[in-house]
Structure 1
Amino acid sequence: MSAKPKFVAGAIFAAALTAVAPAWATSGPGCFQVVNVPDWDVLNIRALTSASAPIVARIPPEGHGIIAQEGRCLPLSRPMPERWCQIAYYDGDRTSYGFVKRRFLSPSECP
């Protein structure tokens, strides 16, 4: 009789978690463009899901960078425009990570 390794169940569980975890795109769907921001203003990327959280970067309304979704827009209990979305903003020189209100984003194809 051979003994079964104890790690098999854990490996199967970890594989199952990996299989259901969302994968956010960097090409195709999963990106955004800035909307509902006046031409003279900017969209602030916040460090946390709060309008009083520190600003980590700013996106001009006609920004030419890539805004990619990095996680779900939360909390799920709120209407979509009131949720905070975790994003990555690639402006060509650097990448900024943070949160923006969904009402300022419109779905767009990633390049």
Structure 2
Amino acid sequence: MMTGLRAAMAASALCLLATALPAQATSGPGCYQVVNVESWDVLNVRSRASASASIVEMLRPGNHGIIAGDGPCTPSHRPLPSRWCRITHYDGDRVVSGWAKRRYLAPSDCP
């Protein structure tokens, strides 16, 4: 009986602790901004890490929502500008995921 009571009290304490912890913010490092693209041009976001893959989104430099990185850019043995980065673009209610060439992305803090 005492063991069951202790287990119940421990579970209750864990639940209270979990609800008392602050929510994780989405701000800080991990986002990108578009660079090395002329103001009249766009950065094509592709369905796969290939220049021949279909375009799923077009990002204008200085006029885009949040571009969040979804892991390391690949392949890791290539020079950084030659790598492809998996990204998710958040613009209002629109959310699009795809791949962009690293040479056109500069690290930025997430808002």
What TM-score does the superposition give when structure 1 sets the normalisation length?
Answer: 0.75
Instruction: For 2:38, give the aligned amino acid.
Output: P
Q: Do residues 43 (structure 1) and 43 (structure 2) align?
A: yes
User: How far has the Cα of 1:60 moved from its partner?
Assistant: 0.5
Deviations 1:32-71 (A, max 9, x none): 1000000110001000010110000110111230000012
In structure 1, distance between residues paired with 2:44 and 2:93: 17
After TM superposition, give the deviation of residue 26 of structure 1 in Å. Answer: 3.5
Question: Which structure 1 residue ranges, 5 or more long, are not aligned?
Answer: 1-24
CA distance in 1, matches of 2:52, 2:36: 20
Match in the other structure for 1:88: 88
| Structure whose alpha-carbon radius of gyration is higher | 2
Matched-pair contact (CA < 8 Å) for 1:42–1:58? yes
Unpaired runs of 5+ in structure 2? 1-24
**What is the identity percentage for the equivalent residue pairs of Structure 1 and Structure 2?**
62
User: Where in structure 1 do 4 or more consecutive aligned residues deviate above 4 Å?
Assistant: none
For 2:42, the aligned partner's letter is V
The one-letter code of the counterpart of 1:53 is A
TM-score, normalising length from structure 2?
0.75
> 1:97: how far off?
0.1
Equivalents in 1 of 2:64, 2:77: separation in Å? 32
